[in-house]
Structure 1
Amino acid sequence: MPRTMQAILAAGLVAASLNAQAQDDKALTIGTLNWAENIAVANMWKLLLEEAPYNYEVELSNVGKSVAFSGVASGDMDISLETWLPATDASYIEPHKDQLVIHDVWYEGAGMGLVVPSYVEAESIADLAEQGETFDYQGEPTIVGIDPGSSISSLTEEAIESYGLPMRQLSSSEVAMMAALDDAYRRQEPMVVTLWSPHWAFAEYDLKYLDDPRNVYGDEEAIHWFSRKDFAEDDPWLTAVLNAWYMDDDALGSLMAMIEETGDPAEGARQWIDENRALVEEWLATGEENAQ
């Protein structure tokens, strides 16, 4: 065969191979919330799915909570990895219930409420009605919170009213809230923040939830992942894998702690994957079996 023809055939085979590989690549957009546990698991799954032989092209779309639900429902995003049920996120799901699919639980025992350092005398939210002045922040008795669109923010406004607290809620970001807590903790000063479990802060600091006798913040819940309506039909393999995914406090806590230690979500998630390959392979293998 002439060398020119051989070169043409070789180029054709390479092109066909590259084309087949491109067709094997799958695009996936994950609606990501700016919360420690959500950032952690989103980066973990991005890295895992971009590995060979899976070869996904994963985009993390950082959005607010309500946009995560509307964006997945409209198909602008394929999945999002965190919804708290049965109560916390029910109102976010309701407007989109016909366009969303709520999938399996990957974490149990989730909760939220008002949290103080263990050295603080208060034991109950009701105690803040008399001790509110103790928690002075920037010149006012304050509960330091996160973004005003979050469920915990609205529940905290309910708690202030229900318990008659002489305090304001100062909405900020998780980063700003944790910076305020860290500063107060280092100086052993009173501080009350809105916080939730799972969160790396409970490994870093000696903290306690204030009792909630009126149950404003509700009972413990489970965290599910959710998708657009037709996602399971489009990608049965990944649906099965994510349904097989489950993390306990040790697994999730160590992932978040690794990210906090490195200061880089991708690098922290990569190190955690390397150290927990057996667990990761278990999710993937179980998903493979269930997808068949």
Structure 2
Amino acid sequence: MFFKKLNVGILFILLVVLTACGSTSNGEEKDSSETDEVQTIKMGQINWAENVAVTNMWKVILEDEGYDLELKLLDMGAQMAGVANGDLDVSPEVWLPIQDASYLERYQDEANFSEESWYDNAKVGLVVPEYMEDINSIEDLNAHKDEFEGEITGFEPGAGTMVVTGEMIDEYDLDFELIQSSESAMIASIGKAIDNNKPIVAPLWSPHRVFSEMDLKYLDDPKKTYGEAEKIYHATRHGFADDFPKVDKWLKNWKLNDDQIGELMSMVNEANDPADGAAKWVEKNQELVDEWLEK
């Protein structure tokens, strides 16, 4: 009888312990999202002014919300491949309907392309300095080939705009070579040309801080090779919405206008650390950020 009572007592204690382990103090099942484990999100980054600005903005926002955002410096082709194969969670900058159409066509079944754009007033095209008064259209370029030494100064290969610029050369039958480099090198070349009142032609896009720093003009594109108004979207890997439902919703709520993204780029550019500039912008625009996070 003693052993029977002992066994019953031990069983009762075990049940109490197991119940305590499986419940919170108020008796409810513990939600895994309430643990202290920090969830890591991998986001692609490209060394473009607006991309550096928005990726650092999201780093500040998500880390404030308890996530760890790991930024991966990758060109556009590598980003989209990474999202498609699941190595990357988010590619934050997809230009449609023209610039990144090739990536949409290639990966539309392997990645999630958001239907919600975060910027609606994007523009892409060839630019020249304002002082080049005789050159106002892409169709004017061949007649001035020697002035440009037959070169269009470009940036990173694989970027959608570089792909479209290659198509534009064929479309307009331009006797020009597209030179690959980096965005920073291209901007430096434009600045040097302007300082010396020299000719230069390059593919550029808006939004970009360079338009507030240099007098540039877009060349007319009568064949609409670059398209007209572009919108900027984001893409995520399959399963991201299940793994990070809140963040997935926040990204879809994200929206910036000309003034907001212009201020963000300026603050990031002026800071010694891009994250510091982004943090100041987030603090100044907390009401806007709260709208993204509350809906």
SS of residue paired to 1:172? coil
In structure 2, C-alpha distance between the alignment counterparts of 1:119 and 1:194, rounded to whole Å: 17
In structure 1, C-alpha distance between the alignment counterparts of 2:33 and 2:155, rounded to whole Å: 46
Q: CA RMSD in A?
A: 1.9
Contact 1:24 1:55 survives alignment (8 Å):
no
Q: Structure 1 residue 179 and structure 2 residue 188: aligned?
A: yes
Residue equivalent to 1:84: 95
Q: Structure 1 residue 38 and structure 2 residue 51: aligned?
A: yes
Match of 1:75 among 68, 74, 86: 86
Q: Give the deviation of 1:206 after TM superposition.
A: 1.9
TM-score by length of 1: 0.84
Gaps of 5+ in 1: 1-18, 287-292
In structure 1, C-alpha distance between the alignment counterparts of 2:48 and 2:238, rounded to whole Å: 25
Contact 1:129 1:163 survives alignment (8 Å):
no
SS of residue paired to 1:232? helix
Q: Give the deviation of 1:175 after TM superposition.
A: 0.5
Aligned length: 262
Residue equivalent to 2:105: 94
SS of residue paired to 1:156? helix
SS of residue paired to 1:105? coil
- Cα deviation per residue 1:49-83 (whole Å; 9 max; x = unaligned)? 111xx210110011111111111121111111111
Match of 2:210 among 193, 196, 201: 201
Residue equivalent to 2:120: 108
Q: Give the deviation of 1:118 after TM superposition.
A: 1.3
Moved more, 106-115 or 80-89: 80-89
- Cα deviation per residue 1:259-284 (whole Å; 9 max; x = unaligned)? 22225321221222222222222222
Q: Give the deviation of 1:22 after TM superposition.
A: 5.5
User: Could you say if the C-alpha distance between residues 272 and 212 of structure 1 is closer, same or farther in structure 2, counting changes exceeding 3 Å?
Assistant: same
| Poorly superposed stretches of 4+, deviation over 3 Å | 19-24
Moved more, 223-232 or 83-92: 83-92
Paired letter, 2:91: S
Residue equivalent to 1:214: 223
In structure 1, C-alpha distance between the alignment counterparts of 2:150 and 2:35, rounded to whole Å: 58
SS of residue paired to 2:118? strand
In structure 2, C-alpha distance between the alignment counterparts of 1:108 and 1:76, rounded to whole Å: 28
In structure 2, C-alpha distance between the alignment counterparts of 1:271 and 1:204, rounded to whole Å: 22
Paired letter, 1:141: G
SS of residue paired to 2:44? strand
Gaps of 5+ in 2: 1-31
Contact 1:105 1:222 survives alignment (8 Å):
yes
Paired letter, 2:207: P
User: Could you say if the C-alpha distance between residues 143 and 67 of structure 1 is closer, same or farther in structure 2, counting changes exceeding 3 Å?
Assistant: same
Q: Structure 1 residue 247 and structure 2 residue 256: aligned?
A: yes
Q: Give the deviation of 1:21 after TM superposition.
A: 7.0
User: Could you say if the C-alpha distance between residues 119 and 79 of structure 1 is closer, same or farther in structure 2, counting changes exceeding 3 Å?
Assistant: same
Contact 1:261 1:268 survives alignment (8 Å):
yes
Moved more, 246-255 or 226-235: 226-235
In structure 1, C-alpha distance between the alignment counterparts of 2:132 and 2:273, rounded to whole Å: 32
Moved more, 152-161 or 208-217: 152-161
User: Could you say if the C-alpha distance between residues 226 and 124 of structure 1 is closer, same or farther in structure 2, counting changes exceeding 3 Å?
Assistant: same
TM-score by length of 2: 0.83
Residue equivalent to 1:280: 289
Residue equivalent to 1:145: 154
Paired letter, 1:116: V
